[in-house]
Chain A
Amino acid sequence: MTAAAYTWKRPSVLPGFGLTLGYSLVYLSIIVLLPLAALLLRPAELGLDGFWKAVTAPRVIASLKLSFGASAIAALINCAFGLIVAWVLARYQFPLKRVVDALVDLPFALPTAVAGIALTSLYAPNGWIGSLLAPLGIKVAFTPLGIVIALIFIGLPFVVRTVQPVLLDLDREVEDAAASLGATRWQNFRLVILPSIFPALLTGLALAFARAVGEYGSVIFIAGNMPMKSEIAPLLIVTKLEQYDYAGAAAIAVVMLIASFLMLLVINLLQRWSRRHEERGA
Chain B
Amino acid sequence: MSLEAKNISKTFNSFQALKDVSLTVQRGEFMALLGPSGSGKTTLLRIMAGLDTQDSGEIRFDEEDVSGRSLRDRKVGFVFQHYALFRHMNVSENVAFGLKVRPHETRPSPPEIKRRVDELLHLVQLEHMGQRFPSQLSGGQRQRVALARALAIEPSVLLLDEPFGALDAKVRKELRRWLRRLHDEMQLTSVFVTHDQEEALELADRVAVMSQGKIEQVGTPDDVYHRPETAFVYEFMGNVNRFDCRIQDGHARVGPLVVAAPEFPSARDLPGLAYVRPHDITLRAADEPGLPAVIRHVFTAGPGIRVELQRRDTKTAIEADLPHDASRQLLLTPGTEVSLTFSGARVFAAG
Residues of A within 8 A of B (CB): 171, 173-174, 176-184, 187, 191-192, 195-196, 277-278, 280-282
Contact = CB atoms under 8 A, between A and B. Distances in A.
Given A181-B101, A182-B101, A176 B133 contact: no
B175 to A, nearest CB: 19
A171 B150 contact: no
Nearest to B52: A176
Contacts of A173: 80, 82, 84
B135 A278 contact: yes
Contacts of A171: 82, 84
Interface string B19-55: 0000000000000000000000000000001110000
Contacts, number: 77
A181 B149 contact: yes
Contact of A178 (B75, B97, B102, B133): B97
Contacts of B76: 180
Contact of A182 (B75, B87, B135): B75
Nearest to A280: B133
A170 to B, nearest CB: 10
B153 A181 contact: yes
Contacts of A184: 72, 101
Contacts of B90: 277
B86 A183 contact: no
B98 interface: yes
Nearest to B106: A182
A281 B88 contact: no
B78 A176 contact: yes
B72 A179 contact: yes
B135 A280 contact: yes
Given A179-B72, A180-B71, A174 B101 contact: no
Given A174-B85, A180-B78, A191-B86, 10 more contacts: A178-B86, A178-B97, A179-B70, A180-B51, A187-B101, A191-B97, A277-B88, A277-B90, A280-B135, A281-B133
Contacts of A178: 86, 97, 101
Main secondary structure of the interface of A (DSSP, over half): helix
Given A176-B78, A177-B80, A183-B72, A281 B135 contact: yes
14 contacts: A176-B84, A177-B86, A180-B51, A180-B150, A181-B97, A181-B98, A182-B101, A182-B102, A182-B153, A192-B86, A277-B87, A278-B87, A280-B133, A281-B135
Interface in B60-75: 70-72, 75
B80 to A, nearest CB: 5
B72 A281 contact: no
Contact of A196 (B71, B87, B97): B87
> Which of B82, B84, B102, B146 has the most chain A CB atoms inside 10 A of its CB?
B84
A179 B75 CA distance: 10
A177 B84 contact: yes
A278 B136 CA distance: 9
A180 B49 contact: yes
Nearest to A190: B101
Nearest to A183: B101
Given A181-B149, A182-B101, A183-B101, A176 B71 contact: yes
B154 to A, nearest CB: 11
Contacts of A176: 51, 71, 78, 80, 84
Interface in B252-287: none
A196 B86 CA distance: 9
